Structure 1
């Protein structure tokens, strides 16, 4: 006889959490009506008890697209091209799209989620754990696009950051560089950053080079100008690097500014390599020299995210959580064979 797992109810959650049934109901269905500390406590208990999803009874013909930043979604150097891949794929299937933004506010819960008006949702970039969990409990299939959430096994599509970083560092090593710095755009514990940083260290160690913490500098993807200060720190070292790997093109182009301000030439005096291969940056035209970078097919990423979401909608029991998009090195004019001066 097969033993069935006991169905967890909101009464069980309320008892374990030490709150009322109404509080649990609000936390799951009207989260804006509950204090953030109480809501997180209730959601944590619900996760621990493996609270079951609510199954949708009928399809709406709508797919949600949620980002923490409208501007980043529509005009950002990276995600706008992801959206360009999403929209035609949805149109091809006669699916409506509902777009909303949390505005970097973890207390913001879009109505499309709360009122369960969508068949699935794509979360672009960083997303609120609470919002994602509420979507799950409402039975809304979802895909995280561009950024995973640590410790949560959720369908996620990201560029192959490890492969890209290895290609970048190996390219610089082949050019004779040994003093290679890296400018990262998030704290070291961020999953995207950690993956690229691990690959950077792996490539150096494999080449027999000792990594040096002074060559690892943190900037901020959200404020690319922070790469100027990061680059200055590197250039002001007694033993500055001969090459810099920036984990995004936007950081690399700001690094250009600091290098040129010092009167140095790229790539004659220092090589620079980026990541993303952006084609529509917040510049009138791309800075010179053309940047050697890691190409990410962002439109394909958007298209694939829709295909993954449709697959989850049709096969809710599928268990593949991580999808990686292949990337490739594009050699242009910002990297050069190191002069034999040592």
Structure 2
């Protein structure tokens, strides 16, 4: 039999209201009564009906998280951090993998509603401004990343331009003169910003920017990085350094370099982006831009909580979280 509040109250010799106050964390309960209730809770194995409680409060107890691909380590790690941050607010997380297509991203937004989730964290790659409209049906939204969508919703990201500049300046400080970039993609907002930072850092250093040194990547997987590096190393004058727009591209690039007899970093230095766990254990370990993923996840959850708790509407927040450069063996550390 499942224990009820009444069962707990009878065993503890207190009112049902007192048991409810203890279960819900209210402070104004006599210490002796609290002790007896807690003992009775343990003896009966009572578990609160979270679903019923949320229903009474007009809440679902869920947060939606929409990401392109969980197989990309950055999004997998970010999802874990969002889950941890959401647990601090007694939320569970519903994860939707959109594959970065506009159709799937639109469908995910359309499915939202107060009956589905209390809020949503969205990392889009293909959505346009008109796709938002009323699709969220009043559910608080937070957008992650730098997809260029001009909509009045809360936004959390790092400064991708400055981060890319930091990565390329590190390479120029090592005396590298022929620096390539892997990851150009017109459908990724972050790609345009990282490319802008790459170009700015090269211009500051007075280094050439051959068009063949900017290599596109349809996806951001290891294979894309390996294929791009194979092309770069086939050039009459290959680069002596490469800035990759995520860690998977960089790890694929390092593999392709090794297969062709190039030493990393002696012959070619490589920098990635995202500081995923794999980057610390690759051989050589990967120098990479390290966004504060914990801060991104916690800030997104805090913004949703603020929207829910606020009695007044407030202007959309554009929050930039910290980042750093993690120097490892792929650039000579």
Please, what TM-score do these two structures have when normalized by structure 1?
A: 0.71
Q: Distance in 2 between matches of 1:153 and 1:216?
A: 33
More helix by share: 2
State the Cα distance separating 1:280 from its structure 2 match: 4.2
1:237 equivalent in structure 2: 235
2:307 equivalent in structure 1: 312
More moved, 83-92 vs 118-127: 118-127
2:223 equivalent in structure 1: 225
1:291 equivalent in structure 2: 286
More moved, 108-117 vs 211-220: 108-117
Aligned-residue CA RMSD (Å): 2.7
- Structure 2 CA distance for partners of 1:210 and 1:222, relative to 1, 3 Å: closer
1:260 equivalent in structure 2: 258
Kept after mapping to 2: 8 A contact 1:84/1:302: no
Q: How does 1:118-157 map to 2 (within 5 A)?
A: 118-126=117-125, 128-129=127-128, 132-136=132-136, 138-157=137-156
State the Cα distance separating 1:156 from its structure 2 match: 1.7
Q: Distance in 2 between matches of 1:207 and 1:247?
A: 20
1:81 equivalent in structure 2: 77
Gap regions ≥5 residues in structure 2: 1-56
User: Runs of at least 4 residues of structure 1 off by over 6 A?
Assistant: none
Q: Distance in 2 between matches of 1:109 and 1:218?
A: 28
Which structure carries more relative contact order (alpha carbon 8 Å, separation 6+)?
Answer: 1
More moved, 263-272 vs 83-92: 83-92
Q: What are the superposed Cα offsets for residues 217-240 of structure 1, whole Å, 9 maximum, x if unpaired? A: 111344331111211121111121
- Greater Cα radius of gyration, structure 1 or 2: 2
Q: Distance in 1 between matches of 2:328 and 2:67?
A: 33
Q: What are the superposed Cα offsets for residues 82-130 of structure 1, whole Å, 9 maximum, x if unpaired? A: 1222222222222243333446443634785156432211113436446
Count of equivalent residues: 273
- Structure 2 CA distance for partners of 1:266 and 1:222, relative to 1, 3 Å: closer
1:324 equivalent in structure 2: 320
1:52 equivalent in structure 2: none
State the Cα distance separating 1:135 from its structure 2 match: 3.4
Q: Distance in 1 between matches of 2:232 and 2:151?
A: 36
Please, what TM-score do these two structures have when normalized by structure 2?
A: 0.73
Gap regions ≥5 residues in structure 1: 1-57, 338-342
